[in-house]
Each structure stands twice: as structure tokens, then as C-alpha cells.
Amino acid sequence: MAQMTMIQAITDALRTELRNDPNTLIFGEDVGVNGGVFRATEGLLKEFGEDRVFDTPLAESGIGGLSIGLALQGFRPIPEIQFFGFVFEVMDSIAGQMSRMRYRSGGRYNMPITVRSPFGGGVHTPELHSDSLEGLMAQTPGLKVVVPSTPYDAKGLLISSIRDNDPVVFLEHLKLYRAFRQEVPEGEYTIPIGKADVKREGTDLSIITYGAMVHESLKAAEELEKEGYSVEVVDLRTISPLDIETIIASVEKTGRAMVVQEAQKQAGVAANVVAEINDRAILSLEAPVLRVTAADTIYPFSQAETAWLPNYKDVIETAKKVLTF
Amino acid sequence: MASKLKNAPLDAKKALEEVEGQFQTLQILNEEGEVVNEAAMPNLTDEQLQELMRRMVYTRILDQRSISLNRQGRLGFYAPTAGQEASQLASQFALEKEDFILPGYRDVPQLIWHGLPLYQAFLFSRGHFQGNQIPEGVNVLSPQIIIGAQYVQTAGVALGMKKKGAKSVAITYTGDGGASQGDFYEGINFAGAFKAPAIFIVQNNRFAISTPVEKQSAAKTVAQKAVAAGIPGIQVDGMDPLAVYAAVHDARERAINGEGPTLIETLTYRYGPHTMAGDDPTRYRTAELDNEWEKKDPLVRFRKFLEKKGLWNEEKENQVIDQAKEDIKEAIKKADAAPKQKVTDLMSIMFEEMPFNLKEQYEIYQAKESK
């Protein structure tokens, strides 16, 4: 075991899979000599050579196409999109092409591709770096979408994503890269994709969340405990497909639920979680399922982040509405 | 206020003219079937020349029958190919089985001659997933609908071949309109930067639906767009099977020798509409233009060429026509026999392992389907 930040856990997962499988390839803008703009691929070029870890021209769509073509030749590509706000340039390759390849070829071809990309607010990035666009991916049949919130989860989920024989979009929250350290086992281990994790057990209210909002929710749960409320925090970890079983089990136990996301209210996956709870556990509900989200504006100018991004106070406020409905 | 310079720092206009001057059309056979460029003549045996003619005649019949079957409602989506036989088939003829084809939506003939069974091509047209279940060992993708996507993917396939040390190439096709897409530039530029064994073909049939090529770009040729990627670009007479073959053969040699990709523009024409989905070329094309290009028909000139060599006659041609009609009839029958698609079929080809939501929906649809 070693104390690792999330970014170290990611690098460790990448190194593990580069060693395990000669077909894995890492490429993107500045992922080679530079080790990535956040050092996620630090040292990998040196250890594995330019044939396995390489830089590309500055063109996201080309990177997507490169991944698809390499997958058609039997490789296991792990491309990086420098910031997920740039996904619009590569929407066709991801949502129009790789997500559909197994289906459109009737199973003849498949795309074992893991698209890694950072996103998320709270670090005053310039425009279109921090936008939460996971909702777009979650709406695309043929993709799985993973958003880890801890170093331990990041490593196990990334190894699973890379080994998955269908495309996975792996979104890494910028604020969580170096926010804290955690014990992470050496060597390989996996966490199943599509499996949520109860990060805190409770009996009065279920908070269903993912990404940086997991930590805001945990902080809110601690505060609420001081007021006598027992709050359960469910970290989705995979936002497509959802772990319905874990979500519903928690809601049936607590009878009250809310969903917390960093994305705007009209975006993200919160509405989907609410709909699933309404469909499957309405008879357990003591109150409507409320959402904590950002406002339906464009992502804020960096100085306005504090006012705009949802935080633990918003979680507490909404939690009280649900608890006292 | 900007003052007028006495002399331009660079003669930009002259530089452009110089670039344009580098892209002359390669032709080997003229419209009369006469060899006008003996030096560029590809090394093909009599049997190969006859086989190429056979494929071109066969494909012309396939186009005629496909249009007719489409009108009868026995085929679905169909993009006519008549006129482009030299461009499509002579280029495929220069390939080896190991080469990988990434076709556009009009490039079904290349797939058929690379090994896709005819009945599957018909199932593709109708919209049946079995049409896209390419047989193992046939190195093709099904026709790409997103114009340009095949170009960026080709760079990846070619890089994959290079990494494996394979002596093969990835080849892709788009049209003149497609050369305006971002993915067109990214594809050729990536392949260039990685020195990957790719052949990029632009079949310039002068029209993207109703939009003439002059409205796509101020560039005099599509071939010169290769300059932007720093790779060789060639313009060929796309109605001349020998010129197309020679250009692709040459590009393939360079690619497998590690010299990187080539962009080839074939000047061609489609005699039919853009697709069978209601396009009416009389709205945007004149009869004069159609007549002018009909004189350039690749079949006419290649027939003349072969007849003069004593390698072709009416009897041979009729045999091919009969064979094509027979094969098409059989293929349509086989396509008719394909099982009707069920929603559960579609679910089971989404992932290697169905996620929760699909498992749940699978049971629902299975119950519906078993009623």
C-alpha cells in the first residue's frame, strides 16, 4: 500500500496496464515527453518508449479517428483529450463512431478504447476547461461513462475501463487530482464498471452523487449529523450505466433522496437518477427527490466559480428541505 | 492608415500559380482508348486487363440493376456508381487482400471486389445488421455515412499497420465535397505526421449533391490539398482505368516502403443522381455536361483499348452481363431469406456484456417477441 493522490493512482493504473498488455497505447496532446499537462502520464514514455506512449498533432477529431483505426488493427488505445470542453471537436468519433462500431458491424469489430479526459471546476481554469459534459456522453448508447472521486476508485476503475472491450469515457475531476491522498494498493486490482459505492452509511436520507460533489456531500453529511440526521452518501462512480440496485436499496432504506451534481440542472445525469427512483421506489418515498445542481447558464467566468458551483452548503440546504418535507 | 507598399514582399500570386502548375492530370488512355503515356503504363497481364474490364462491366450492370431494384422497393439506400468504375475498381484492383478499405457511402463496389458477398451489400442497402457483418479475413469497414470520418480512421488503421510491421496499406475514399471537411485535413495530416501507409482517394465527380466543386474551394485541384499535409498529391483522369491503377499502385509501393501516405484525386463523373432518395440532377446539371462526360465513359475507352489488343469482344461482354444478372438475382433471393431483425438482436450487439439497463430491457422485448 502507498499513499497516493488521484493523479498518481491514475499514472499507476496506466503503468500497470502498459506492462500487462502490449496492445495498450497512450497518446494525445503532450502526453509523451511532457508527461501530460497534469503529469498523468509522467515517466511512461521513458519506461515504455515512443511506440507505446506518443504525442499527436493538435486535433481532437484526428485523435478520435486514430483511436478507432488503431482499435481496428487490434490495439487497445487509451487516448487523452486534454480538457473535456474540447470534446465537441471529437463528438463524432466518440458518439458517432466508436460507440456504434460493435453494433454497426453486428459484432464483427469492437472498440476497446478508453478516452481519458479531465474536467471540473474550482481551480479557476480559462474558458471551456471545466465544463461538466458527462451528460452528453451518458445519453449515448454504446458508451460507458466513469467518474471516479478517490485515488482508490480511480485506479481500480481505470484498469477495468482499459480492460473493457467496449468504449469507456473516463472523466477525471481537476480539483480531485491532488486534493488528498489515500491508501492505494500496489499492483493490479479492479473495480467493476456500473457499480456504485456507499461512501457513508445513513438511515434518514440518501444523497446520490459523483465526482467532486461526493466530497461536498460527505462534508454536508458530517454537518447534518451534528444536527441529528443520519445521511447516506452513494457515489455513483459510473454514471452510465447507473447502478440501479445500490441506488434503490439505499432509497428504500432511508425513504428520502436527493441527487447532487456539479453540472447545470438541464445537464448531467441527475434527472435520470430521479426518474429511475420515481419509477422504482415511489412507494418508499416520504418526500420528492430534489436535486442540487449548478444554474442553467454557461460555465462561469473563473472569478464567479465560488458563487456558481454547488457546494456543501447547497447540499445541506436541499437536504433539510427533503428531511422536513 | 496602411500605406501602399512599393513592391509586394512576396509574389503570392505567382507562388500559387506555381503550386497549381505542379498538379497536372495523369492520363494513360484517352477517350479513344489510345495509349497517350506509354512511360506510365502499368505492368498488367492480358488476364489482369480482362479481369479489370470484367469487373467494370459487372459493376455497371450492378448499378443498373440496383437502381431498378430500388425503384421496385426491393433495395433501400442506394448511391449510384455508373461513371465511376475506373475510379472505384481500378483503384481496388491495385490492392492486396491484406489492405484495409474504409469506404464512403458510394463505395460499395470496392467492398464487393475485396470480398464482401453481394447479398450482404444488398442487406446494407436495405438496413439489416447482417449486411455489415463483414466476413473474417475481408479487410473492410461498412460504408461510412459521416463524410470525412473514414479519413481520420484511415490514419489510425495505417498507423496500426506500421506499428505491426505489416506490408499493407489502408485506403479510403471520399468525394469532392468531402474534401471540405475538417476530418479530411486531419486525416491526411495525421497520416503524414506519422508517415503512415495510407492512400487517400478523392473521387471528384464535380458535384456534392447539387453543389458544384467550384463552390467547395478556390483551390484549382483537390490534389494540391496534399500540400497542406506535406504529402504527395496526384490528380488522375478518373475515367481512365490504367491511370487510376498506376497512381494507386505507385502510392501503395511508396506506402509499404515506409514513405508515407498519398492523396489521389480522380476526375470522374456520376451519370446518375446523388442517391435514389429523391435527388434530381436535371435541377443542377446540364445535358451538355452529361453528354461531355458520357464521351469519357471508362468502359468505352477501355473496351476500345482491349478490342484493339484482341482481348475483348461482344461475346465476352455478354457473358459478364449474364453472369452479373444471374448473381444479382441469387443475391437478392439470399437477402430476402435473411431473418427479420428483432430488438433483442440489436441489444445483443451493443456490448460484449450487456449493462444493467439493457439486460432489463432485453427481458421486456424477449417477452414481447415470444408472444
pLDDT per residue over B39-78, tens digit each? 999 999 999 999 999 999 999 999 999 999 999 999 999 9
Q: Which CATH class is domain A197-324?
A: alpha beta
Average pLDDT over residues B102-108: 97
Nearest residue to B244 (alpha-carbon basis) of B51, B87, B93, B354? B87
| pLDDT class of B243 with cuts at 50, 70, 90 | very high
Is A32 in contact with A42 (CB distance < 8 Å)?
no
Nearest CA-CA distance, residue A268 and chain B, Å: 18
Q: Is the ipTM of this structure higher than 0.95?
A: yes
Residue A27 and residue A29: Cα distance in Å, rounded? 7
Is A221 in contact with A231 (CB distance < 8 Å)?
yes
Asked if B78 is an active-site residue, the reply is no
pLDDT attached to residue B7: 76
Average pLDDT over residues B159-175: 98
* Substitution target from A53, A55, A72 for chain B, most B beta carbons within 10 A: A72
Write down the residue that cell numbers 421486456 correspond to.
B364
pLDDT per residue over B215-230, tens digit each? 999 999 999 999 999 9
Instruction: Give CATH superfamily name and number for A2-184.
Output: Thiamin diphosphate (ThDP)-binding fold, Pyr/PP domains (3.40.50.970)
Residues 6+ apart with CB under 8 A from B157: A69, A70, A72, A73, B100, B102, B170, B198
Nearest residue to B297 (alpha-carbon basis) of B106, B93, B32? B32
Check whether B267 has a pLDDT greater than 80. Answer: yes
pLDDT attached to residue B278: 87
* Interchain proximity A241–B356, CB inside 8 Å: yes
Residue A258 and residue A234: Cα distance in Å, rounded? 10
Closest residue to B357, CB basis, from A72, A92, A241 = A241
Q: Secondary structure of B128-179 in the HEC alphabet?
A: CHHHHCCCCCCCECCCECCCCHHHHHHHHHHHHHHHHCCCCCEEEEEECHHH
pLDDT attached to residue B1: 58
- Calculate the alpha carbon distances from B218 to B16, B212, B215, B221 in Å: 11, 12, 8, 9
- Residues 29-88 on A with a CB inside 8 Å of B are 51, 56-57, 59, 61-62, 64-75
Write down the residue that cell numbers 450482404 correspond to.
B120
* Interchain proximity A141–B186, CB inside 8 Å: no
Q: Which amino acid is at B102?
A: L
| pLDDT class of B144 with cuts at 50, 70, 90 | very high
User: Does A288 contact chain B (CB < 8 Å)?
Assistant: no
Average pLDDT over residues B134-147: 98
Is A291 in contact with A274 (CB distance < 8 Å)?
yes
* Interchain proximity B156–A73, CB inside 8 Å: yes
Residue B256 and residue B161: Cα distance in Å, rounded? 10
Identify the closest residue of chain A to B187 by CA–CA distance.
Answer: A62
pLDDT attached to residue B123: 98
pLDDT per residue over A89-109, tens digit each? 999 999 999 999 999 999 999
pLDDT attached to residue B48: 98
pLDDT attached to residue B102: 98
Q: What is the pLDDT along chain A (325 residues), one digit of tens a residue?
A: 799 999 999 999 999 999 999 999 999 999 999 999 999 999 999 999 999 999 999 999 999 999 999 999 999 999 999 999 999 999 999 999 999 999 999 999 999 999 999 999 999 999 999 999 999 999 999 999 999 999 999 999 999 999 999 999 999 999 999 999 999 999 999 999 999 999 999 999 999 999 999 999 999 999 999 999 999 999 999 999 999 999 999 999 999 999 999 999 999 999 999 999 999 999 999 999 999 999 999 999 999 999 999 999 999 999 999 999 9
pLDDT attached to residue B3: 72
Task: Write down all domains in chain B, each with its CATH number in brackets.
Answer: 44-339 (3.40.50.970), 341-370 (no CATH)
Residue A55 and residue A64: Cα distance in Å, rounded? 13
Chains A, B: CB pairs < 8 Å:
134
Is B304 in contact with B274 (CB distance < 8 Å)?
no
Identify the closest residue of chain B to A245 by CA–CA distance.
Answer: B356
Output the average pLDDT for chain B: 96
Domains A2-184 and A197-324 share a fold: yes
Nearest CA-CA distance, residue A68 and chain B, Å: 6
* Interchain proximity A144–B355, CB inside 8 Å: yes
* Interchain proximity B149–A66, CB inside 8 Å: no
pLDDT per residue over B333-363, tens digit each? 999 999 999 999 999 999 999 999 999 999 9
pLDDT attached to residue B2: 66
Check whether B201 has a pLDDT greater than 80. Answer: yes
* Substitution target from B120, B124, B151, B153 for chain A, most A beta carbons within 10 A: B153
- Calculate the alpha carbon distances from A184 to A43, A187, B136 in Å: 19, 9, 43
Check whether B6 has a pLDDT greater than 90. Answer: no
pLDDT attached to residue B5: 73
Residue A43 and residue A36: Cα distance in Å, rounded? 10
Residue-range domain boundaries for chain A = 2-184, 197-324
The number of beta carbons lying within 10 Å of the beta carbon of residue B209 is 13
Query: Using CA atoms in the order A111, A113, A119, A125, what is the torsion angle rounded to 10 degrees?
Result: -110
Closest residue to A61, CB basis, from B157, B183, B357 = B183
